[in-house]
Structure 1
Amino acid sequence: MSFLIAAVLLVGTLCTLDLVLTLGVIKRLREHSEQLSGASGPGGRFDTLDMAVGEEVGEFDTSTVDGERLTRGMLAADTLVAFFAPGCRPCREKLPAFVDHARSLPGGRAQTVAVVVGEPADAAAFVAELSPVARVVVEAGPDEPLSAAFRARSFPTLLRVSPDGHGRVHVTANRIALHRPLPAAR
């Protein structure tokens, strides 16, 4: 009988320990999911680590969905360049905040470029929302002209770029808060 009581106590203790460890793992997974999904809310911040501040943007020559030609040399000072992917949940969540932010910028549509990386049919909803506030380019993948020039591999990505006096374009910000206007480059 004492053996049976000891076995039941051992099994109960192991089940309790397993439950505590499982709850700890679930809590940790939730924390990581929040970090990965950019849980800073709809008016949150884009932290882009694909390109560092000061890095030069590569050459590109492409066309917008409106048929307008777009090259690196056509980017004005303080141009916002954003990369979205239709299958990306954080992209869908942050898109309205980006649209509101882009709408409030002094340069307007001429100073904002949005790149939707995905199949054209999947990208249609993003294009419809972004077109009023940005020059929109749809690319099939990361080897397309703009994605390659900006080395965009994570989504959403938002950068501010400006040309220097020698015709090169550099990243001036890769941490952009959408709830307030961007400061002018110095």
Structure 2
Amino acid sequence: MPVLWAALAIVGAICLLNLLLTIAVIRRLREHTELINRGNAQASGQGEITLPAGARVGDFRVVTGDNREVTRDDLREGLLVAFFSPRCPSCEEQKPAFVRYASGLSGGRDDVIAVLLGSPEELEGLREELSGVAQIVIEADVEGDMSTAFGLSGYPAFCLMGQDGVLAVTGYRVDILPGYVAL
């Protein structure tokens, strides 16, 4: 009889452990669902990855890889500003479409600024890939001058400028830009 009670105690302990693990998994799934819903809200325009269209970009002063100083006053209508990070899978997905779009702009690389976020060493490959279609600005993180001025909260981010430093179009996908043609 003591063996039966010991077996029942072991089965009970296993069932209790299983119940606790199941509760922990359900809690974690709820957290993931909340994160996914927040991401979908941002994707559908309910959240912004930069300042919203119609907002004026803040003051900044940066130097491009070509040693050209750029300030908010240089943000003319039609200028495309993009933010990329080498640690971002979405950036890798959007990069080919960005290169195609930027290559088709009439002003060439003078109409495009690519802000790359990270250390110079980790940005080397990305810098080489984008320097043919964009002026390059390197910032260590989202607290850099341009990132702060544009209210950057994630990447990739694409901003088409309107007049007087006002954002005309913003989003995290290239297909939000006017004239974009998918392949």
TM-score normalised to structure 2 length: 0.71
Identity of aligned residues (%): 28
What whole-Å deviation, never above 9, does each CA across 1:101-121 have from its counterpart, x for those lacking one? 333445542322111122222
Q: Which amino acid aligns with 2:15?
A: T
Counterpart residue number, 1:41:
none
Counterpart residue number, 1:13:
15
Q: Distance in 2 between matches of 1:175 and 1:143?
A: 19
Question: What stretches of structure 1 move > 6 A for 4+ residues in a row?
Answer: 32-38, 44-47
- Structure 1, unaligned stretches of length 5 or more? 39-43
TM-score normalised to structure 1 length: 0.70
Cα deviation, residue 23, structure 1: 4.3
Counterpart residue number, 1:149:
149
Say whether the 8 Å CA contact 2:84–2:91 is kept in structure 1.
yes
Q: Which amino acid aligns with 2:76?
A: A
Q: How does 1:69-148 map to 2 (within 5 A)?
A: 69-148=69-148
* Partner secondary structure for residue 126 of structure 1: helix
- Structure 2, unaligned stretches of length 5 or more? none
Q: How does 1:21-36 map to 2 (within 5 A)?
A: 21-24=23-26, 27=29
Q: Which amino acid aligns with 1:10?
A: G
* Partner secondary structure for residue 174 of structure 1: strand
* Partner secondary structure for residue 66 of structure 2: coil
Number of matched pairs = 175
Say whether the 8 Å CA contact 2:76–2:165 is kept in structure 1.
no
Q: Distance in 2 between matches of 1:52 and 1:180?
A: 13
Q: Distance in 2 between matches of 1:99 and 1:8?
A: 62
Q: Distance in 2 between matches of 1:45 and 1:92?
A: 20
* Partner secondary structure for residue 24 of structure 1: helix
Q: Distance in 1 between matches of 2:79 and 2:110?
A: 8
Residues 22, 54 of structure 1: alpha-carbon distance in 2 compared, 3 angstrom cutoff = same
Q: How does 1:155-174 map to 2 (within 5 A)?
A: 155-163=155-163, 168-174=164-170
Q: Distance in 2 between matches of 1:90 and 1:125?
A: 16
Please tell me the root mean square deviation across aligned C-alpha atoms, in Å: 3.5
Residues 14, 101 of structure 1: alpha-carbon distance in 2 compared, 3 angstrom cutoff = farther
- 1 or 2, which has the higher strand percentage? 1
What whole-Å deviation, never above 9, does each CA across 1:36-84 have from its counterpart, x for those lacking one? 899xxxxx99974331222111233332112233232322323221122
